[in-house]
Amino acid sequence: MKAITETKFKFPGQKSFYKGKVRDVYNINDEVLAMIVSDRVSAFDVVLPKGIPYKGQVLNQIAAHFMKATTDIVPNWILAVPHPMVSVGKFCTPFKVEMVIRGYLSGHAWREYKAGKRELCGMKMPDGLHENDAFNEPIVTPTTKAEVAHDEDISKEDIIKLGLVNKEHYEMLEHYTKALFKRGTEMAAKQGLILVDTKYEFGMFDGKIILIDEIHTPDSSRYFYKDGYEELQKKGQPQRQLSKEFLREWLISKNFQGLEGQQVPVMDDDIVTAVSNRYIELFDKITGTKFVPNPSQNPEKDIEQSVLNYLGKSTPA
């Protein structure tokens, strides 16, 4: 299947279109959002030049799986999943922060720690830790939500001080974040995985906080294999993981971290296939079900028709 890296639909009642790093979002009458999860892949806040076949389907279906499994914790935005790459849901006003939560010293947190920092987003990190060690308690390390450029680390105090989120709402966001991470950790453990860190996004709908975007996918989360974790930590060896971190590490090895003046390395067929296989592997592992590729010969048309069918319209001439 070819990678779907761009969509340009015109739906009845369409008021606006937003192209994110990965998602194409269509606003229908300020009432419904049709979110198409493309096969674009980003790292270090940069969209890479090649799409990854099946990535959009994997992300959309994993997110739907976990949204359904967490409705008792917090309501979410999804109304329907009419196509493997499409979610349709409530039109919300998003909060301008992403709620990142970390159970282990990995990824960005480790890079900051290795550079000598012992505080991240106002959260203290003790001395003497090694890469991928567990924190005593998960720490919440929010970021700003940038439409362009890079998301930036920010503390709870600064979020409230700058008026990005008021104190009452922020405390609810933090409560939901910890509860969702606990549920995700429990679900991962049943599949022999460790949920290392993840991020959640929230919005307001009808005066209530709801969960939006995606949860517990390889784009928003990092997973380790539970089996062998302790032994690898004792030996100081890298953890076996299912996430985008291996792609970030490949980019770093090619001298790219999204910094000014750096060139995105060429992604050959081997790395594209490896990334695709990693996404499919995570789907199988985290959901406990076998990934079934969408067999469509004309995925763009099927995606468009699925949204039109949901909206109760026929295909335009």
The answer to whether position 116 is within a domain reads: yes
Checking if the pLDDT of 315 tops 60, the result is no
Phi, psi of 172 (to 5 degrees): -70, -40
Is the domain of 123 the same as that of 43? Answer: no
How far, in whole angstroms, is CA 42 from its chain's centroid? 11
pLDDT in tens, 26-35: 999 999 999 9
Asked if residue 18 lies in contact with residue 25, where contact means CB atoms within 8 angstroms, the answer is: yes
Instruction: Give the per-residue pLDDT at 120.
Output: 98
Number of folded domains that form the chain: 2
The single-letter code of the amino acid at 202 is: F
pLDDT in tens, 270-299: 999 988 998 898 899 999 999 999 888 899
Is the domain of 98 the same as that of 223? Answer: yes
The answer to whether position 117 is within a domain reads: yes
The answer to whether position 317 is within a domain reads: no
Looking at per-residue pLDDT, the higher value among 99 and 282 belongs to 99
Instruction: Give the per-residue pLDDT at 148.
Output: 54
pLDDT in tens, 8-45: 999 999 999 999 889 999 999 999 999 999 999 988 88
Is the domain of 148 the same as that of 83? Answer: no
Q: The CATH number of the domain where 69 resides is what?
A: 3.30.200.20
Rounded mean pLDDT of the chain? Answer: 93
Residue 35 structural domain: 14-93+268-311
Is the domain of 105 the same as that of 120? Answer: yes
Is the domain of 110 the same as that of 82? Answer: no
Question: Computed from CA positions of residues 92, 176, 24, 294, in that sequence, does the dihedral angle turn out positive or negative?
Answer: negative
Q: Give the number of other Cβ atoms within 10 Å of residue 32's Cβ.
A: 19
Asked if residue 99 lies in contact with residue 142, where contact means CB atoms within 8 angstroms, the answer is: yes
The answer to whether position 213 is within a domain reads: yes
